[in-house]
Amino acid sequence: MIKIDGKELAKTIKAEIAVEVAAQKAAGGKTPHLAAVLVGADPASQVYVRNKVIACEKVGFTSTLIEKEASTTEEELLAIVAELNRDEDIDGFIVQLPLPKHINEEAVTLAIKPSKDVDGFHPINFGRMALGLPCYLPATPFGIMQMLERYNIETSGKHCVILGRSNIVGTPMSVLLSRKAKVGNCTVTLTHSRTQNIKEETKRADIIIAAIGIPNFVTADMVKEGVVVIDVGINRVDDASRKRGYRLVGDVDYEQVAPKSSYITPVPGGVGPMTITSLLMNTLKSSRREVYG
């Protein structure tokens, strides 16, 4: 069994990005510039956004953090988005979700210029992804694709069972892995809350991608020997032995499933750390006008 170390891989990729940014700057090229917009004071969102900004600085990007009060109106936020769309120095920007309830997230996502949508949430980027055209991949699927590629995990001709059909993980993964590409050519089964006999599906899987948000859902009796397991879930379970009173677990029962796996991602330290890396890679691409010219 090989543990896929997302933390280490993310570190390696960030170091590679830093080298590329330094070379780009030395050659008189553009310094990549990422902006992040945070509306409201949700503590988790504050941590995510600040981590993104710190990551930018560490690899030599310029970063801009725009923090607005929770009372910001949709109109005001759309005006900020329009300004970021116009600003030629900004290569890409993200609007941290979730937004306060009075703001329509879809309207905001649609307002972001696809060529600056480094989160890869705009339907234009999703459509380009589905057609195999240059695009910004959404962060978590991009991170998973990197893991599969860098660990040289064979996907061609394999049966991949995905658990969960969210727009940010399950559905894009089903598209990416069924595409004709270096990492791809899988036969994909996309399962969800209405799937019957999920165990029958997972038992046939060469690769399982679990993204449902149910702690330890995938157990040893649900997988075959040699399976590759990518666990996207991040769930809190009570743990009195921890100072904070809980610990994080994935959607896969790691202790049980790891011994049967050929490769498996831990939680924490698996898929999670890769998401910021994806954002940096998309912003670097944008600074080089690689996707939209």
Out of 53, 272, 281, 283, the only residue in the binding site for ligand NAD (CB under 6 A) is 272
Alpha helix positions (H), 112-236 = 123-131, 139-150, 170-178, 198-203
Of the candidates 192, 203, 260, 288, which one interacts with ligand NAD according to CB under 6 A?
192
| Residue (of 81, 76, 115, 114) closest to 96 by Cα position | 81
Give 4 or 80: the residue with its C-beta nearer to ligand NAD. Answer: 4
CA proximity to 72, closest of 40, 97, 120, 30: 40
Residues 6+ apart with CB under 8 A from 11: none
Q: Applying CB under 6 A, does 284 fall inside the site for ligand NAD?
A: no
Region from 150-158, 185-193, 220-228, 276-284 binding ligand NAD, contact rule CB under 6 A:
185-193
Task: For residue 146, indicate whether it is catalytic.
Answer: no
Of the two residues 31 and 193, which places its CB atom closer to ligand NAD in the complex? 193
Amino acid letter at 35? A
Residues between 128 and 147 with contacts to ligand NAD, criterion CB under 6 A: 140
Structure tokens of 99? Answer: 């937004």
Sheet of strand 227-231, all strands in order from the earlier edge strand to the far edge: 2-3, 261-264, 227-231, 207-210, 159-163, 187-191
Quick check: 118 binds ligand NAD (CB under 6 A)?
no
Binds ligand NAD by CB under 6 A, chosen from 36, 56, 144, 168? 168
Q: Which of 72, 125, 191, 277 binds ligand NAD (CB under 6 A)?
A: 191
Quick check: 205 binds ligand NAD (CB under 6 A)?
Answer: no
Q: Contact with ligand NAD (CB under 6 A): which of 32, 120, 141, 170? A: 170
Task: Compute CA distances 200 → 142, 159, 161, 191, 214, whole Å.
Answer: 28, 13, 11, 11, 18
Strand partners, 263: 2, 228
Task: From the candidates 96, 117, 231, 285, give the one annotated as an active-site residue.
Answer: 96
The Cα–Cα gap between 258 and 265 comes to 9
Q: Is 198 in the site for ligand NAD (CB under 6 A)?
A: yes
Q: Tell whether residue 213 is a contact of ligand NAD (CB under 6 A).
A: yes
Residues in region 225-244 near ligand NAD by CB under 6 A: 232-235
| Joined tokens for residue 110 | 């649609």
At what angle are helices 274-287 and 43-58 packed, to 10 degrees?
A: 50
Please confirm, yes or no, whether 251 is among the known catalytic residues: no
Q: Which parts of this chain interact with ligand NAD (CB under 6 A)?
A: 140, 163-166, 168-170, 191-193, 195, 198, 211-214, 232-235, 271-272, 275
Residues annotated as catalytic are 52, 96, 119
